Amino acid sequence: MATVIFYEKPGCQGGTKQKTLLTAAGHQVIAYNLLTEPWTAERLRSFFGDRPVSEWFNRSAKRVKSGEIVPENLDAQTALMLMLKEPLLIRRPLMEVGDRREVGFEVEKIDAWIGLIPKDATLKDITEKLMHQDLQTCSHNSEHKHQPG
């Protein structure tokens, strides 16, 4: 099984569900606070691969939801500058296994990459239920307060 470096917003229910799926599949999850990580533009950029800039953003971030920031109108350099100043704009989670880095929690993609099949039959029902939920977006409205990290 894999060791997954997992950058999250602490207290986020979506992140908790994502980590549950990973650990049920036998992976070791090492979680870090995405909001306090000392990011550089180069390191942050490495998680986005060949995705368009619009897919780098947390669509639940207030400034994105309000239309103040329109990811489709930004170039990579501007997007990274904004994210370094305001990490809440970064799509979550950021994950790293070995030399590969990814952004977001697309169940099918992660299953093909490292596997999400539960290692214990008792976890099968929970895993199947979670795999059919939306694990990409925050389940709370913009007024929700996550635990401080």
Q: What's the confidence (pLDDT) of residue 147?
A: 43
Residue 119 scores a pLDDT above 50: yes
Residue 108 scores a pLDDT above 70: yes
pLDDT digits (tens, 9 = 90+) for 135-144: 666 655 444 4
Active site residues: 12
Q: What's the confidence (pLDDT) of residue 38?
A: 98
Angle at 98 between CA 94 and CA 104, to 5 degrees: 20
Mean of all residue pLDDT scores within the chain: 89
Residue 39 scores a pLDDT above 50: yes
The closest of 86, 87, 104 to 95, measured between CA atoms, is 104
pLDDT digits (tens, 9 = 90+) for 44-65: 999 999 999 999 999 999 999 9
Going along the chain from its start, the domains and CATH numbers come out as 1-34+92-138 (3.40.30.10), 50-90 (no CATH)
Q: What's the confidence (pLDDT) of residue 130?
A: 67
C-alpha neighbours within 13 Å on the C-beta side of residue 8: 25
Percentage of residues of the chain with pLDDT beyond 90: 75
Residue 124 scores a pLDDT above 60: yes
Instruction: Tell me the Ramachandran region of residue 3: left when phi exceeds 0, alpha when psi lies from -120 to 50, beta otherwise.
Output: beta
Decide if 34 contacts 11 (C-beta within 8 A). no
Residue 122 scores a pLDDT above 50: yes
Decide if 76 contacts 45 (C-beta within 8 A). yes
Dist. CA 79–CA 70, nearest whole Å: 10
